[in-house]
């Protein structure tokens, strides 16, 4: 299934005044391979599509046909491996961010609890004094 719109890649490349050879060099592929992407006779892998998107400074969303749904069966093994790596890295990043947020929340919360304990202890001492008197 053809998800990537090759003509959009070509149009953006021309708009940026890049030759096929220039863009191919930037994304690390051959001019012939880039030509097949632009003509639609071949689909780039996700890794290559990300490189094209970055090189053209164009969101991937603008380079694909949004009316078509990508199925896992449409992906080659390299794309599946890439998605699994990305998901693993994304999960690790989210856990790291959550832990950092919790650390920032814990500190003020811990300080507030410490102040509350100090206040309760001081009130308890006052009450103990009143009981003794």
Report the CATH number that the domain containing residue 55 is assigned in CATH. Answer: 1.10.260.40
Separation of alpha carbons 12 and 63, rounded Å: 9
Question: Is residue 86, in this structure, part of any structural domain at all?
Answer: yes
Question: Is residue 112, in this structure, part of any structural domain at all?
Answer: yes
pTM, two decimal places: 0.60
Among candidates 102, 44, 112, which has minimal Cα distance to 74?
44
Q: Are 14 and 28 in contact (CB under 8 A)?
A: no
Question: Is residue 42, in this structure, part of any structural domain at all?
Answer: yes
What does the DSSP assignment read for 22-38?
HHHHHHTS-HHHHHHHH
Is there a single domain that holds both residue 53 and residue 81?
A: no
pLDDT tens profile 24-68:
999 999 999 999 999 989 989 888 999 999 999 999 888 887 777
Q: Mean pLDDT across the stretch 78-102?
A: 81
Is there a single domain that holds both residue 21 and residue 69?
A: yes
Domain membership of residue 69 as a residue range: 6-73
Return the residue matching tokens 């070509």: 10
Question: Is residue 49, in this structure, part of any structural domain at all?
Answer: yes
What residues does 64 pair with on adjacent strands? 4
Is there a single domain that holds both residue 52 and residue 19?
A: yes
């Amino acid at each position: 299934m053809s998800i990537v719109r090759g003509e959009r890649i070509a149009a953006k490349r021309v708009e940026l005044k890049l030759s096929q050879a220039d863009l191919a060099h930037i994304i690390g592929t051959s001019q012939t391979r880039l030509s097949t992407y632009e003509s639609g006779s071949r689909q780039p892998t996700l890794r290559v599509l990300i490189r094209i998107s970055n090189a053209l400074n164009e969101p991937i969303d603008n380079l694909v046909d949004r009316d078509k749904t990508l199925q896992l069966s449409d992906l080659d093994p390299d794309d599946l491996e890439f998605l699994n790596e990305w998901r693993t890295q994304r999960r690790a990043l989210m856990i790291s961010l959550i832990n950092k947020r919790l650390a920032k929340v814990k500190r003020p919360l811990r300080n507030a609890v410490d102040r509350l304990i100090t206040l309760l202890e001081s009130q308890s001492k006052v009450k103990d004094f009143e009981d003794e008197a």
